[in-house]
Amino acid sequence: PVPARRRRPPEARIGRRVIPRDLRPVSLRDELTELGDLFRAYQKRPEPDLALLADLQERKARAFLTWSDVSCDVTLRLEAQRAEQAAAAIRRQHQHRTGCVPEGDEPGVARLLTVPTQWEYARSVLAHVAGHTPLPGAEARLLVLLLTLRTAHTGTGNLVGQDVEALGLTDPEDLVEQLTGCGWLSLPGTVGDLLASRPENPTPVTVPSLVPDEDGTGPFTFGRKTRPKLSGWAQRVVSDKKLRKAKAPAGARLLAVTLATWADDVGRLGPGGRGVTLDALTTRVPVGSGELRDLIDRLTAADWLTEAALTDTHLTGRLTERVLPLTCPLLN
């Protein structure tokens, strides 16, 4: 009889990294393997334990620093630094929640949108856009988001060509033509005039569905002073320097702004860091699963997202330290 083939044991992993079987010292390999198991177990916890998570991140930082030294891999050192930063941020969050903030200590992240009401307003705009974009696809969704934020309070606002060109759209002129053609957007002139307009001579645009009713009510409850803050926040996200440098497509920028509103204080995706459901994600970012995976990879390459894992049901991971100022943390 033919002897049965011996099956190799599964590869040990921590996050998306494979831990080499021949990694030495063995104590380092054992520590990395255990940490991988502990992080996966943490993802399954029904409730977050920030003190535990901070401890895990500190252990990861030490282990990855050693791994970098023995393998001469600088990317491991960078990941160790990110883990150390995450541990510090999580520790601060835990201190704030438990009332144990050192005297004179300030919140760890200075966010562009500074108060929870603004975070909820941002989420309300994204939800509205998801349900009221008149055209299919991520590109239309992103452009409608920009236009909605520019016109949210009165139904009218100013736009210049660079605002549209900066979104990474395949054919901006055609997309704007479609929005005007279906009646969702109204322009005083041609689409060409809009795209050629400059800050010193912006184009006034109107979104009829956002014009308040006779009693003054519209789809949003925030006031005229909040609208430019929300618009400026979204503009900062979609025109992020690293996204621009990578020439990220509109879908990646839409995913970036969506995830910025679906993470906790320290950047972990979803409530309690348990991830975002795929159903909810594709409702906000209308792309197929294959394209979604590509967009996630693009955000990871642009240092927007780390430790990302996409399953059939969820996207888990964490927004990087550099983008935390642009986030709108989920409220427990």
Q: Give domain status of residue 104, yes or no.
A: no
Q: Give domain status of residue 263, yes or no.
A: yes
Take residue 123 and report the two structure tokens written for it. 């989420």
Q: Give domain status of residue 268, yes or no.
A: yes
Q: Give domain status of residue 315, yes or no.
A: yes
Structural domain for 83, as ranges: 13-98
The predicted pLDDT at position 108 comes to 60
* Beta-strand relationship, 276-277 and 156-159: unpaired
Rounded to 5 degrees, what are φ and ψ at 112? -65, -45
The predicted pLDDT at position 1 comes to 56
Q: Give domain status of residue 219, yes or no.
A: no
Domain count, the chain: 2
Q: Give domain status of residue 289, yes or no.
A: yes
pTM, two decimal places? 0.68
**What residues are paired with 13 via a beta bridge?**
18
Among the candidates 64, 80, 98, a domain finishes at: 98
The predicted pLDDT at position 102 comes to 55
What's at 38, amino acid-wise? Answer: L
The enclosing domain of 299 has a CATH number of 1.10.10.10
What's at 127, amino acid-wise? Answer: A
Per-block mean pLDDT, blocks of 10 residues, the chain (332 long): 62 90 92 93 83 91 92 90 86 65 57 89 95 94 96 92 90 95 94 93 94 84 89 94 92 96 92 90 91 94 94 93 92 66
Whole-angstrom distance, CA of residue 117 vs CA of residue 113: 9
The predicted pLDDT at position 90 comes to 83
State the Rg of the chain over Cα: 23
Among the candidates 74, 98, 122, a domain finishes at: 98
Q: Give domain status of residue 126, yes or no.
A: no
Q: Give domain status of residue 232, yes or no.
A: no
Among the candidates 43, 67, 98, a domain finishes at: 98
| Alpha carbon of residue 82 to chain centroid | 17
